[in-house]
A and B are shown apart, each in its own frame.
Chain A
């Protein structure tokens, strides 16, 4: 199955005089696990921000292909793009820190359960039904990712690796078709990284979604992804399978410098 899910054509992003993303075209297919690598400042996170609507594009077209049809994501707000099926995690964890783990997940489900204003303020049976359905769904999701024990704790109390995991679970709770993971292994020890590798494979297998991964940890990237994009100075340097990329002279030069 290689039908496209999201395509971006000739994306450009200028910040004043600086071109952060220059003419980048990428495509992500259904149920695919794609990696996005490149040296620091290559424009990887900026590309994520363009695709999720966080930063408006200077030019270029972003198109989403779903069962409901073809949809342009240009000029849409991040919330609309999230509702269309794109979800993400952040390089520097952005959980709702003061709120409980359960609430973090339930917030991500906001658009999938509607209780109605009057039903919620007057506590009608409809409110209790919706609330119970939402809570059950959230607890089920937490159980899959081994977070049941901490469900009622504030998110800020969790250990670092668990916070990263919760951020992924929260992104999954929006029922995405495409999940962007921005450096999920940053700051993790080898053991936590190994867990994360298993987790990413599990998500792709059980949730049937496309995952795009920005990562510096090559052991993780080369292990899990099927296809890789390499960015350098905001431009696309190479594309291919992990094996291809490891042999690519341009990529080796970008990472290790010119051969002496």
Chain B
């Protein structure tokens, strides 16, 4: 118990330290609006990709519909905060977005999670397209024009805190009885069933959990960018999140962080290259996949416990 407390406090320390560092840079003017925008995008991408990594990397279900659930969160915030432009309204809208996204994931997941591999990918992609087309045709979502002038209720600090929270919850989920059951499904469905694991149920739990975190990302996106349109949540948006997961390493949350930061920074630096930007960006992706086919970190995970363990191996004098 004591070791756990120490371990948790270490992580808390790291989170506070990074927050302080960004805050100080912001104060000193090192971070301008341009860099802040990059940091927020990275934070939102981490939230989105962590949830997708839970679905793809840990439960082993290939989903291509993450942007659909993100859209639900974004529109919930976009619509609700226009009538209730307060922080309370924002968090309320985020809650509503999470619930709707989870219900949608349940409806999509029950029939489709029986499918495997590429079939599931196509089915989830279709589901996300349905969500997008619905949004495109509803009056309340303002159709293809989308929503603009969404109240700016989100600062970089909100994004940072929510990024930390969703990561903590996701990682805690993975390192628990539930996470192990989900990984058993990924490893061998037949064996998992034979050990009494209801594979359909655990696949659904991971999928619905991932959809909930996607809605958080969507909410933050809507309130920070202040403009959303159905086109922002098309298949390319799903693929952009998938790229982060695959590049970082399927099954590594640390990898997701690294990839989101690397790609976010790369994207910002390449803004200066004009039309060459997408070519260089794509080339970088191809090169990483050639030299690191399992992603930047594979399924390696950073852990303070590892340092603790090596320290314990050193003989002590008590």
List residues of chain A with CB within 8 A of the CB of B197: 79, 107, 110-111
When the two chains form the complex, which single residue of A107, A115, A173 contacts B184, counting CB atoms closer than 8 Å?
A: A107
When the two chains form the complex, which single residue of A77, A96, A111, A134 contacts B193, counting CB atoms closer than 8 Å?
A: A77
List residues of chain A with CB within 8 A of the CB of B181: 107, 110
> Is A245 among interface residues, defined by CB-CB distance under 8 A?
no
Residue from A80, A96, A99 having most chain B Cβ neighbours under 10 A: A96
Q: CA–CA, A54 to B194, complex, Å?
A: 8
| Minimum distance in angstroms from B171 CB to a CB of chain A | 9
> Is A88 among interface residues, defined by CB-CB distance under 8 A?
yes
Beta-carbon nearest neighbor of A125 in chain B: B1
> Is B271 among interface residues, defined by CB-CB distance under 8 A?
no
Those of B163-216 within 8 Å (CB) of chain A: 168-169, 172-173, 176-178, 180-181, 183-184, 187-188, 190-199
The answer to whether A110 and B180 have CB atoms under 8 Å apart is yes
Q: CA–CA, A110 to B169, complex, Å?
A: 20
Q: CA–CA, A77 to B199, complex, Å?
A: 10
Q: Say what secondary structure dominates the interface of chain B.
A: helix
Residue from A120, A170, A173 having most chain B Cβ neighbours under 10 A: A120
List residues of chain A with CB within 8 A of the CB of B196: 79, 82-83, 108, 110-111, 174
Beta-carbon nearest neighbor of A100 in chain B: B180
User: Given contacts A115-B177, A131-B176, is CB(A99)–CB(B184) below 8 Å?
Assistant: yes
List residues of chain B with CB within 8 A of the CB of A111: 196-197
When the two chains form the complex, which single residue of A90, A114, A131 contacts B191, counting CB atoms closer than 8 Å?
A: A90
The answer to whether A82 and B176 have CB atoms under 8 Å apart is no
Beta-carbon nearest neighbor of B176 in chain A: A120
Q: CA–CA, A111 to B152, complex, Å?
A: 46
The answer to whether A82 and B195 have CB atoms under 8 Å apart is yes
> Is A207 among interface residues, defined by CB-CB distance under 8 A?
no
> Is A253 among interface residues, defined by CB-CB distance under 8 A?
no
> Is B137 among interface residues, defined by CB-CB distance under 8 A?
no
| A-B pairs with beta carbons under 8 A, tally | 104
One digit per residue, 1 when the CB lies within 8 angstroms of any chain B CB and 0 when it does not, for chain A 111-149 equals 101110100111100011011001000000000000000
Those of B1-52 within 8 Å (CB) of chain A: 1, 4, 8
List residues of chain B with CB within 8 A of the CB of A94: 188, 190-191, 194
The answer to whether A130 and B194 have CB atoms under 8 Å apart is no
The answer to whether B194 and A106 have CB atoms under 8 Å apart is no
List residues of chain B with CB within 8 A of the CB of A103: 180, 183
| Minimum distance in angstroms from B300 CB to a CB of chain A | 12
The answer to whether A107 and B172 have CB atoms under 8 Å apart is no
The answer to whether A107 and B193 have CB atoms under 8 Å apart is no
Q: CA–CA, A120 to B172, complex, Å?
A: 6
> Is A210 among interface residues, defined by CB-CB distance under 8 A?
no
Q: CA–CA, A123 to B194, complex, Å?
A: 29
> Is A98 among interface residues, defined by CB-CB distance under 8 A?
yes
List residues of chain A with CB within 8 A of the CB of B195: 82, 87, 107-108, 110, 170-171, 173-174
The answer to whether B194 and A78 have CB atoms under 8 Å apart is yes
When the two chains form the complex, which single residue of B172, B183, B193 contacts A123, counting CB atoms closer than 8 Å?
A: B172
| Minimum distance in angstroms from A31 CB to a CB of chain B | 22
| Minimum distance in angstroms from A183 CB to a CB of chain B | 15
The answer to whether A87 and B194 have CB atoms under 8 Å apart is yes
When the two chains form the complex, which single residue of A99, A113, A121 contacts B172, counting CB atoms closer than 8 Å?
A: A121
Q: CA–CA, A171 to B196, complex, Å?
A: 10
List residues of chain B with CB within 8 A of the CB of A79: 193, 196-199
User: Given contacts A83-B196, A170-B195, is CB(A96)–CB(B169) below 8 Å?
Assistant: no
List residues of chain A with CB within 8 A of the CB of B176: 115, 120-121, 127, 131
> Is A27 among interface residues, defined by CB-CB distance under 8 A?
no
User: Given contacts A107-B197, A110-B180, is CB(A96)–CB(B187) below 8 Å?
Assistant: yes
Binding site for B on A (CB under 8 A): 52, 54, 77-80, 82-83, 87-88, 90, 94-99, 103, 106-108, 110-111, 113-115, 117, 120-123, 127-128, 130-131, 134, 170-171, 173-174
Nearest 7 interchain pairs by C-beta: A82-B196, A96-B187, A120-B176, A94-B191, A78-B193, A108-B195, A107-B184
Known A96-B183, A115-B177; 16 more pairs at CB < 8 Å: A87-B195, A90-B190, A90-B191, A94-B194, A95-B191, A106-B177, A106-B180, A107-B180, A107-B184, A108-B195, A108-B196, A110-B195, A110-B196, A120-B178, A121-B172, A134-B177
